[in-house]
Structure 1
Amino acid sequence: MKIIIAGAGKIGYSVASILSDEGHDIIVIDNNPTVINNLSNNLDVICVEGSAANPETLTEAGAADADLIMAAMRSDEMNMVCGISARKLGTKHVIARIRDTGYMKQTEFLREALGLSVIVNPELECAKEISRILRFPSAIRVDAFSKGSAEIIEHRILPDSKLDGMQLKDMVGSFSAKVLVGVVERGGEAIIPNGNFTLKAGDLISVTGASQELRKFFVAAGQYRKRVKNTMIMGGGRIAVHLTRLLMESGISVTIVEADRTRCEELCDLVPGARIICGDATRGDILLEEGIKSSDAFVALTGDDGDNIITSIYAKQSGVGKIVVKVNREYYSDILESSGIDCVVTPKTLISQQLARYVRAMSNSVGSSMETLYRLADGKVEALEFKVAEGSACVGIPLKTLRLKPNIIISALVRGSNTIIPDGETVIKPGDHAVIVTRAGRLKELDSIVEGR
């Protein structure tokens, strides 16, 4: 596909890198010559210097025959103008980054009036991810499929855990929970295991199942953590506002510590149910005074990666049970992991996954449609959800006789309101939602999981 990316900031660069690796023709527009030079030296993409809101620049970038444009500039209004111009020139689909909450309330109008295919809000997506983690505190990460009917939970096995030394084929008998381990990350290697695989302390596992079965599994394994009832958030930006609203809807009380007094006054109006503290959260005395030691969870959301990391380590040492850190630079994850902090979110990574899913779905307009895509194990593995079409090569055959390609697992089927963890006797039916785990980048349609397809 021919894809134009307007704006080469953190998200634009990340999306260009992923989609270029997947074999798409990528054209990036930015008005900063230094950024353009850096991009052309590091990625296999075509670069155009200029304003993406200018029809002449869009024409030079090939908007007349582009399949998709993603408008990811800093200004919502510029992104909308860019989208309108590209559609007028002939671009088939438009994705626009819209961050203003006023615009977000008018998404249907914007789609219809401006011709936008997808509206993306990085801060809201980041808040949703953190909210899912806090609602299931045993998890490092929670990914939902088929509107939450099935989930994949990332969890690190601790020393002396019941899971340490257990073979996967013994899990169901030991814990009486219908779940499946689809990925194990060990020593930097991502493994798609079989039933004979033995788990070890330190492994990062991805477990699939319905929400109630996952809770049953973690309780039986002695790994279930108590529900989060109160959360302290460091930083009062857009993500904090979205997250606070989501948490309060779930019955979780929230304290926000924000250094800027003007922003604190704004927060009192934006999230009136939250407790707003005007102070510097990098100071231990302020955190202690505001109850860090009695908080169930701590979330670091400032724009400074260093402040987020250092303060989160302090919160860990203060005995906070669940800690989530937002970082812009992914390589900080290793520093946090060595400090015992696994829950790291990166907005650009979340949005890149969302856009890769959309582009992959566009490429597969015939047959079983792909509806969800997540990248696991540092991007080495993907979990994809397909809606099974009539006539699929997977339909009507017991899985024990279905010849799957290597390193592929059918980890769950969602059939109506039921989530099925399949075994050899399970038969896939049209209309099912199939969750497939496989190596990254290799699967674009469901039938490709079968040998000879």
Structure 2
Amino acid sequence: MKIVIAGAGEVGYELSKVLSIEKHDVTVIDERKKCLQRVLENLDVLTVEGNATSPNVLVEAGAQDADLMVAVTSVDEVNIIASMMAKRLGVKRVIARVRNNELSRPDSPLTPSELGIDVLIHPEESAANEIHQLVKRASATDVVSLADGQLQLVGLRVEKNSDIINTTLEDLAESYSEIPFRVVAISRRGRTIIPRGNNQIMPLDHIFIITKVEHIRDIVEATGHKDVSLRRIMIAGGDEVGRMLARKLSKDKQKWEIKLIEPNPDIATEIANNQRDILVLNGDPTDPNLLVVEGIQEMDAFVSVTEDEESNIISCLMSKHLEVKKAVALVSKPQYIPLSQTIGIDAVVNVKASASDEIHRHIRQGQLLTVKALQGIKAEIMEVVAGKNCDISDKPIHSIGIPEGIVIGGILSGDSAEVATGDSVIKKGDRVIVLALPNAINQVEKLF
């Protein structure tokens, strides 16, 4: 597929990296020489220096022959204009990142398609959805719903007091034989392991498990955690992510007591007027004294989503020191993700990674139904339809010879989902849950 990406920032760079690994023909446009230099030095893609709103620059990048245009610059207006021009030049499909939510509202006077945009990505909403899932599951560092919500992938840190330390995965499966589950990946000191039965679980391993939703409590307790329910939550920051998160929590069946702190008095007043069921405070959410005065130590969960990511990390560390059960920080620099989890923050969410995941999912739509990159681990979880020409169907998984870097975690056959074992059989038309390292993703498509 020929793809033009406008914007070589973090989202554009990550997309280019993944798509080039998948052997797509990628061209990146940006005005900044430094960003393009980084792309050229590290990735197998073409670059064009210039403004994406220039028709000549788009033509130089090959937009007239492109299958897809992805506009992910940091400026909404540039993304919208570039999308309109690319569509006029003949690009078959356009995906644009737009932070302003006016276009996505039902009462908007203009629809995205009228501006040449086929898919509109709102990165802040993607991040708010991710945080919403995380705070609903107290002990998890990652939560991904799969197989129409019947299965979940959860990331859990193995505590030093856990009974499963030094246990092999074979012995673990035998000890908990009444619970269907599969350990599909282990992150150990920054290294990603696609495990086999003889791999042992070590203290502070970050393990990723697929299981049925009803068995998550048992799995969580086995790793040394208590799956407590959370009720009181403090949100530091009332920008887009904080506002959307508060709205989602207030609509939950689970009744939350929500306290939100926002430094801008106008924004705080607006949130308070629109969200009568939450307590809104006007103050500096990065001020430790204010957080203590407002009762951070009494909260079950603390979420810091201000624009200052260093303050988000520090505030979350302070909340953990005060024994808050769950702390989630919003970050934008990828290098902070493994660091923050090492120093004790329960989970981090990267707005740019959330946007990149969503765009990637739309690019891969068709046979690949879900694509999700996991924080702190170099692997992706995806749902794949076993196609008509699938060679591995109607055979037990243990006899297939799955390539290195790939593990099958679950199968949705009709309306029934099951956790995959060596004896499971994949039939044509089944939806199969696969975890794969980046260099093995092409092999997943060939397998199915």
Percent identity of equivalent pairs: 30
Distance 1:182 1:292 in 2: 36
Indicate yes or no: 2:374 matched with 1:372: no
Bigger Cα displacement from structure 2, 26-35 vs 3-12 = 26-35
How far does residue 92 in structure 1 lie from its aligned partner after superposition? 1.3
1:204 is matched with which residue?
Answer: 206
How far does residue 425 in structure 1 lie from its aligned partner after superposition? 2.7
Pairing 1:226-375 to 2, within 5 Å after superposition: 226-250=228-252, 251-361=255-365, 369-375=367-373
2:147 is matched with which residue?
Answer: 146
Cα deviation digits, residues 265-293 of structure 1 (max 9, x gap): 22223433221111112222211121101
1:432 is matched with which residue?
Answer: 430
Pairing 1:28-427 to 2, within 5 Å after superposition: 28-32=28-32, 35-36=35-36, 39-40=39-40, 43-106=43-106, 110=111, 112-175=113-176, 176-219=178-221, 222-250=224-252, 251-361=255-365, 369-376=367-374, 378-427=376-425
Q: Check 1:34–1:197 CA distance in 2 against 1; reply closer, same or farther (3 A cut).
A: closer
Distance 2:27 2:398 in 1: 45
Q: Check 1:18–1:389 CA distance in 2 against 1; reply closer, same or farther (3 A cut).
A: closer
Q: Check 1:167–1:38 CA distance in 2 against 1; reply closer, same or farther (3 A cut).
A: closer
TM-score (norm 2): 0.91
2:153 maps to a residue whose letter is I
Q: Check 1:264–1:200 CA distance in 2 against 1; reply closer, same or farther (3 A cut).
A: same
2:220 maps to a residue whose letter is F
Q: Check 1:381–1:72 CA distance in 2 against 1; reply closer, same or farther (3 A cut).
A: closer
Q: Check 1:188–1:30 CA distance in 2 against 1; reply closer, same or farther (3 A cut).
A: closer
Q: Check 1:69–1:385 CA distance in 2 against 1; reply closer, same or farther (3 A cut).
A: same
Q: Tell me if the contact between 1:98 and 1:104 (Cα under 8 Å) persists in the aligned partners.
A: no
Q: Check 1:271–1:58 CA distance in 2 against 1; reply closer, same or farther (3 A cut).
A: farther
Bigger Cα displacement from structure 2, 214-223 vs 254-263 = 214-223
How far does residue 370 in structure 1 lie from its aligned partner after superposition? 1.1
Output the aligned Cα RMSD.
2.5
Q: Tell me if the contact between 2:147 and 2:417 (Cα under 8 Å) persists in the aligned partners.
A: no
1:23 is matched with which residue?
Answer: 23
How far does residue 145 in structure 1 lie from its aligned partner after superposition? 2.1
How far does residue 44 in structure 1 lie from its aligned partner after superposition? 4.4
Q: Tell me if the contact between 1:142 and 1:153 (Cα under 8 Å) persists in the aligned partners.
A: yes
How far does residue 375 in structure 1 lie from its aligned partner after superposition? 2.6
How far does residue 86 in structure 1 lie from its aligned partner after superposition? 0.8
Q: Tell me if the contact between 1:122 and 1:351 (Cα under 8 Å) persists in the aligned partners.
A: yes
Q: Tell me if the contact between 1:150 and 1:414 (Cα under 8 Å) persists in the aligned partners.
A: no
Q: Tell me if the contact between 2:158 and 2:223 (Cα under 8 Å) persists in the aligned partners.
A: no
Secondary structure at 2:260's aligned position in 1? strand
Distance 1:269 1:8 in 2: 39
How far does residue 111 in structure 1 lie from its aligned partner after superposition? 5.1
Distance 1:447 1:332 in 2: 32
Structure 1, unaligned runs of 5 or more: none
TM-score (norm 1): 0.90
Distance 1:444 1:337 in 2: 30
Cα deviation digits, residues 171-206 of structure 1 (max 9, x gap): 344332211101111232211112222212111100
Distance 2:82 2:31 in 1: 13
How far does residue 87 in structure 1 lie from its aligned partner after superposition? 1.3
How far does residue 121 in structure 1 lie from its aligned partner after superposition? 0.9
Secondary structure at 1:104's aligned position in 2? coil
Q: Check 1:398–1:271 CA distance in 2 against 1; reply closer, same or farther (3 A cut).
A: same
Cα deviation digits, residues 28-68 of structure 1 (max 9, x gap): 22344555556555654433333322323222221100121
1:210 maps to a residue whose letter is K
2:117 maps to a residue whose letter is L
Distance 2:88 2:306 in 1: 39
Secondary structure at 1:256's aligned position in 2? strand
Bigger Cα displacement from structure 2, 6-15 vs 252-261 = 6-15
Distance 1:416 1:215 in 2: 26
Secondary structure at 1:11's aligned position in 2? helix
Q: Tell me if the contact between 1:18 and 1:352 (Cα under 8 Å) persists in the aligned partners.
A: no
Q: Tell me if the contact between 2:4 and 2:28 (Cα under 8 Å) persists in the aligned partners.
A: yes
Cα deviation digits, residues 322-372 of structure 1 (max 9, x gap): 0001111122234423421141111111222233333344xxx6xxx1111
Bigger Cα displacement from structure 2, 137-146 vs 266-275 = 266-275
Cα deviation digits, residues 106-157 of structure 1 (max 9, x gap): 4997354344332211101111111111111110011222332322111110
Q: Tell me if the contact between 1:397 and 1:427 (Cα under 8 Å) persists in the aligned partners.
A: yes
